[in-house]
């Protein structure tokens, strides 16, 4: 029971940025993972919907451009509802391949104009079982994404009863968010991201050591050819120029790197893990147990939904 195989997919959104194209590519990766005996797979931040690196959407202090508004409308139209028909397709893929999947998506609500950077949890038997909306997009990302609230901070059990969470990109620098997941006994700490800096590996290693958990970090790998026509680039236009270089990895609870970092190429990282390594790690450090000093420190988490609603 304690031995299982996990994977992270380092892959970019197809150039159309249409959900159906991203889902078809995801299906191929899921099939590959399943054929290798994988039970749990993570896809990167904004995989469905796309990460618009370099875009300004025509916004600057005191003004917005018509072209930028049109770019946002195009981006919005490539986002998906959660749950919704595209999530149903993910559920079919998970069931077909027997995989628990954590997938980064751009989410739109059925009504309204706000987008969210979201990770969805897909169970092979139960389908869609939950989501996490990014709590605090970085400064430039707040042009296009709203902030999540405490109602989407789940730790969800996989088909094998393994507790899994999702923390998106720079949320991993929020110590109280990490403490929340540790307090819920996370075993597979999933980190969908687009952060391709080499220092990211240090952050992932620290979290594995701190939480005594397995960390599965899935980063996008993109070239200019992965972006829609007209997308702004900081480098001269060249379809082969790398935009997001990757850096995906899988790390054990004592900071041991089990796979990766994978850089400057697309690919699937697979690792065998032993969940008993978590217990061995917590023998001398359990940050939500004997190392918590709950007599000195406390953690308060408001898990109520904060979405604006009309009341009677």
**Is 109 known to be catalytic?**
no
Instruction: Give the burial class of 106: count Cβ atoms within 10 A of its Cβ; 0-12 exposed, 13-18 middle, 19 or more buried.
Output: buried
> Which one is catalytic: 117, 169, 190, 219?
169
Query: For residue 63, how far is the Cα from the chain centroid?
Result: 32
**Is 31 known to be catalytic?**
no
> Which one is catalytic: 45, 71, 107, 210?
45
Please state, in angstroms and rounded to a whole number, the distance separating the CA atoms of residues 198 and 124. 33
> Which one is catalytic: 134, 171, 190, 282?
134
**Is 134 known to be catalytic?**
yes
Q: Read out DSSP for the chain?
A: --EEEEEEEE-PPPTT--HHHHHHHHHHHHHHHHHTT-SEEE--TTTBT---TT--TTEETTEE-HHHHHHHHHHHHT-B-SSSHHHHHHHHHHHHHT-EEEEEEEEE-SSSS-EEEEEEEEETTTEEEEEEE-S---TGGGGTB----GGG---EE-TT--EEEE--GGGGG-HHHHHHHHHTT-SEEEEEE----TTHHHHHHHHHHHHTSEEEEEE-EEEGGGS-TT---SSPP-TTSEEEEEEEEEE-TTS-EEEEEEESS-EEEEEEEETHHHHHHHTT--TTTTTS-TTT-------S--------
Catalytic residue IDs: 45, 134, 169
């Amino acid at each position: 029971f304690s031995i299982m195989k996990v994977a992270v997919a380092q892959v970019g959104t197809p150039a159309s940025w249409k959900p159906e194209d991203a889902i078809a590519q995801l299906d191929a990766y899921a099939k590959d993972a399943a054929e290798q005996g994988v039970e749990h797979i993570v896809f990167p931040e904004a995989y469905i919907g796309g990460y618009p690196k370099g875009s300004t959407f025509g916004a600057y202090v005191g003004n917005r451009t018509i072209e930028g508004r049109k770019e946002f409308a195009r981006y919005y139209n490539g986002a998906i509802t959660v749950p919704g028909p595209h999530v149903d397709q993910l559920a079919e893929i998970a069931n077909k391949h027997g995989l628990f999947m954590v997938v980064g998506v751009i989410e739109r609500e059925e009504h309204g104009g706000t987008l969210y950077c979201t990770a969805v949890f897909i169970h092979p038997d139960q389908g869609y079982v939950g989501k996490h909306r990014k709590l605090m997009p970085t400064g430039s990302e707040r042009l296009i994404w709203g902030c999540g609230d405490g109602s989407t901070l789940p730790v969800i059990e996989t088909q094998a009863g393994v507790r899994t969470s999702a923390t998106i990109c720079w949320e991993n620098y929020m110590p109280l968010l990490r403490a929340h997941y540790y307090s819920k006994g996370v075993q597979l700490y999933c980190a969908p991201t687009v952060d391709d800096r080499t220092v990211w590996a240090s952050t992932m290693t620290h979290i594995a050591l701190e939480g005594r958990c397995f960390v599965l970090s899935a980063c996008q790998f993109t070239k200019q050819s992965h972006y829609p026509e007209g997308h702004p680039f900081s480098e001269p236009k060249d379809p082969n120029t790398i935009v997001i270089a990757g850096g995906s990895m899988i790390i054990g609870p004592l900071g041991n790197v089990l796979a990766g970092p994978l850089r400057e190429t697309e690919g699937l990282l697979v690792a065998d893990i032993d969940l008993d390594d978590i217990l061995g790690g917590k023998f001398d450090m359990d940050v939500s147990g004997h190392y918590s000093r709950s007599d000195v420190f406390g953690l308060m988490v408001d898990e109520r939904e904060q979405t604006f609603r009309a009341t009677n």
